[in-house]
Structure 1
């Protein structure tokens, strides 16, 4: 049944490869625990007790509550799948409760640091320098996810209409507008791309390595970390941090929440509302500084 569930995630739910792999690892880990601790070979036969024991074991190993909750979510999805398919008659995760986790506001890069990274820092004029600059600009000015940037091709960019077509989670497509400044820099990047690799093929990936092959996730992580280390005062240094920054800066400037939701490709408004907390903190600070009775 494990194979059937993974197949369901890949081809019916259209989950990302990263998600599929994470679910598979979680289930294999639970399967090993059940076998070693209870002699249970088939996890479809696991009950509340086995699942509860695994959660306790994970906590005792020092795994964080958020990570444990993700594994609980994996089990819930798996047993709901088995329930729908008629393999089991009762969901053993029904009484399982998630662990409490402290709510953390998403970090973001201050505007002054972004200006230094994008406007003041001098990138090298060779392909890799200009590509790095484009990575930083594109992540911040469009708010795309890492996977969306990696899979972007030149044909997805329409410089005439100043739009970019992005394929997001569950193969959901959305259109993001391109600012005039970003459009100008894309044209400059295209020129360097052509000087390095000859004429741009529309099926070429937008962000590539020096061998013209598609960039990989760790490559983008290294690029982002390299430049954030120079100016940002945040504890995190990831591509997703620039997505957080994109959303926070828009809301700080008064952007409509629903519009930001659509730009980010969120399925629900609740996922976008987390960024309003940062905006509210800024409003509170302004109020306390400016109001005579604060």
Structure 2
């Protein structure tokens, strides 16, 4: 009879031989430790058909009480389901309690989008700090944070995309910046104002830190990591400070969504304009009146 610990260790060796990604294996190890610890707390050490169903059912309830993110819970269900199926394949279990490791239905969450005023307040927090701080190093840091926040707000960047940015990624002639994602890159247009701020930030960086004249990365640390590229944690602290000042939770995510909303609205306007022109309506109000009549007729016919 296998202990749950022994079975999971063998399972990890199996998925490693199958060529699963190192990060996936690492996460499955974490998930395994959590499940095994839960079993130990329930005084269950061995893999048995008589108890596995009750254990997995209780663990399902435990995960739903502990975590609020459906995606995280479903990922843990997936790793446990895969483990149990492997145990069934090895004939350590006769039956897999599939009903207790089925994924939870996804709940669509409200997307938190900032108003134009809220976004402007958030972006200007570090600009105001830059304008009021006297000490050179901290004044430079405020300038850095303002540029980062404004870039996120304008280009809808993710934190890990920000920390990857290098000066060589900027094409001054085209006025674009190349943003590297996890597997690809995209070239985004920089506003004239944003280009000016970045040039000013670069100049201030070289004046304050002459030794970093050849530094590749755009966003450098201060304090105990002076001259080293910042991390995603730094971005989180930048947003946390903004949240405290404006008394509203500000994150890269809701700044990104706000930029995306503006882009989508603008695209919708352009599509509507194209439709008006396609059907020969000079006055948009006339076309809008036709649209309402068309849809009203369709609803009545249904």
Q: Same fold (TM over 0.5)?
A: yes
Range class of TM-score, shorter chain: 0.5 to 0.7
Distance (whole Å) between structure 2 residues aligned to residue 135 and residue 23 of structure 1? 35
> Take 1:144 and 1:252, find their aligned partners in 2: how far apart are those partners?
19
Q: Which one has a larger percent helix, Structure 1 or Structure 2?
A: 2
**Residue matched to 2:185:** 174
**Structure 2 vs 1, CA of residues 42 and 201 (structure 1 numbering), >3 Å: closer, same or farther?**
farther
The whole-number CA distance in structure 2 between the counterparts of 1:5 and 1:84 is 9
Larger of the two Rg values belongs to structure: 2
Alpha-carbon spacing, 1:131–1:58, altered in 2? closer, same or farther (3 Å): same
Matches within 5 A, 1:48-197: 48-59=53-64, 62-66=65-69, 69-77=71-79, 79-80=81-82, 92=96, 94-95=98-99, 96-99=101-104, 102-118=107-123, 121-124=127-130, 126-168=139-181, 171-180=182-191, 181-197=193-209
Aligned residue for 2:298? none
Which residue of structure 2 aligns with residue 37 of structure 1?
A: 42
Q: Does residue 1:217 correspond to 2:232, yes or no? A: yes
Secondary structure of the residue aligned to 1:165 is strand
Aligned length: 244
* Aligned-pair CA distance for 1:223: 1.2
CA contact (8 A) 1:143 1:243 kept: yes
Conservation of the 8 A alpha-carbon contact between 1:27 and 1:75: no
Q: Is the Cα contact below 8 Å between 2:130 and 2:142 reproduced in 1?
A: yes
Aligned pair in 2 of structure 1 residues 3, 64: CA closer, same or farther (>3 Å)?
A: closer
Unmatched 5+ residue regions in structure 1? 257-286
Change (3 A) 1:154 1:5: farther
Kept in 2, the 8 Å contact 1:75–1:93? The answer is: no
Q: Tell me how far apart the structure 2 counterparts of residues 227 and 24 of structure 1 sit (CA, whole Å).
A: 37
Shift of 1:6: 8.8
CA distance in 2, matches of 1:213, 1:246: 29
Q: For 1:177, what is the secondary structure of its paired residue?
A: strand
Cα distance change, pair 131–5 in 1 and its aligned pair in 2 (3 A): farther
**Is 103-112 or 129-138 further displaced after alignment?**
103-112
Partners of 1:202 and 1:93 in 2: how far apart? 56
Q: TM-score, normalised by structure 1?
A: 0.65
2:31 and 2:79 in contact (8 A); partners too? no
Q: Note if contact 1:66-1:101 (Cα within 8 Å) is conserved in structure 2.
A: no
CA, structure 1 residues 25+255, in 2 after alignment: closer, same or farther (shift >3 Å)? farther
TM-score normalised according to structure 2 size: 0.64
Q: Any conservation in 1 of the 2:122–2:242 contact (CA below 8 Å)?
A: yes
1:28, CA displacement in angstroms?
1.7
Shift of 1:76: 0.9
